[in-house]
Amino acid sequence: MTDLIVTMKIMPSGPDADLGKIEEEAKKEISEFGGEVGKVEVEPIAFGLKALNLIFVMDEALGSTEALEEKVKKIKEVNSAEVVDARRAIG
């Protein structure tokens, strides 16, 4: 199998949510799942609301990310979490 580069978008419950804490806990969940976070981007949405985009590498053999998405959704102050991009790594 090969590695996948996955982008997960995490929407906080509101503009006052602690993105640092959400990021820390999401990284922990991704690590436990078997992924390795390489980059974190903060994306402005509207009215002060910002989403977190966590870009990580995982082995394709791990299969679906549904279980990971469900765990991240349960983090305090997280409204939603979904994989918005997944592609095979080349090289």
The answer to whether 73 touches 9, Cβ cutoff 8 Å, is: no
Instruction: Give, for all 91 residues of the chain, the pLDDT tens digit.
Output: 699 999 999 999 999 999 999 999 999 999 999 999 999 999 999 999 999 999 999 999 999 999 999 999 999 999 999 999 999 988 6
pLDDT at 90: 83
- Residue ranges of the alpha helices (H) in 1-91? 19-33, 66-73
The answer to whether 19 touches 53, Cβ cutoff 8 Å, is: no
pLDDT at 70: 97
- The domains of the chain are located at 3-88
pLDDT at 77: 97
Instruction: Output the CATH code of domain 3-88.
Output: 3.30.70.60
